[in-house]
Amino acid sequence: MAERWKGTALLVIDMQNDFIEEGSVVQVKGGKSIIPNVIRVVELARQRGILVIWVVREHDPQGRDVELFRRHLYNSEKVGPTVKGNVGAELVDGLIIREEEDYKIVKTRFSAFFCTHLHSFLQTSGITKLVIAGVQTPNCIRQTVFDAVELDYTCVTVIVDATAAATPEIHTANILDMKNIRVKTPTLHEWSEEST
C-alpha cells in the first residue's frame, strides 16, 4: 500500500436494491446512474489497499427499529424497505462484499456512526481518513460526513459522481454544504488520478 492511502477506509453507503431499484418507496432517483462509478471506486480502493466498509440498512420486519416518520411503511400487509434477509436489503448487482477483506456495518438511522460501533472499529483499525460513496446525499451521506468531521477524522472525501440524491439540485446543494466544512469533493476521475 502506498503511504498516501495508509489509514484510509472507503464507506459505501446504502447501495441496496430498495434504495436504487425502480418502484421502491424509498428509491433515490439518482441512485441507478452512479452504480458504475461506485463499482469503480470500490475497485480503485481495493487496488490501493484501502479498507472497504459496506454500510447498509437492515430493519426488523415490523419496523420497530426504524425512524418514526417511516414506521407507516412497515405493516402486516407488505414488507417494508431493507428488511433483513429480503432482496431489497441486498447490495445492487455489481457490488459484492469480499468476506475475507471487507467489513460490514449495519445501521438503522441516517448516520453510519449513530448507535453503531463504526467509530470504535475505525479507531482500532488505525483509520483516520474516509472516502465516501453511495446514497443519498442529503440524508445518510451528509449525516455520516458531518459526524466524521465532528469526530475529527483528518480527511473526509466525498466522491461527487459516486454519490447521488433525488435530484441534481439537492445533490449539488448538499455537496456545497460539505465543501464548506472542508470536505474534499473530487469527481471519480480526479480521485482516480491522485497519486498512488
Phi, psi of 160 (to 5 degrees): -60, -45
C-alpha–C-alpha distance, residues 77 and 146, integer Å: 37
User: Cell numbers 449539488 correspond to what residue?
Assistant: 172
Greatest Cα pair distance in the chain: 53
Phi, psi of 134 (to 5 degrees): 125, -155
* Contact between residue 144 and residue 174 where contact means Cβ atoms under 8 Å apart: no
**Looking at 107, 129, 147, 161, which residue is catalytic?**
107
DSSP letters along 44-77, please?
HHHHHTPEEEEEEE-B-TT-TTS-GGGGGG-BTT
Active-site residue flag, 140: yes
Encode burial over 99-117: b for 16+ CB neighbours within 10 A, e otherwise.
eeebbebebbbbbbbeebe
As a residue count, the chain comes to 196
Active-site residue flag, 14: yes
Cα dihedral 93, 95, 97, 103, rounded to 10, equals -130
**Looking at 129, 140, 147, 161, which residue is catalytic?**
140
- The residues annotated with a catalytic role in the active site are 14, 107, 140
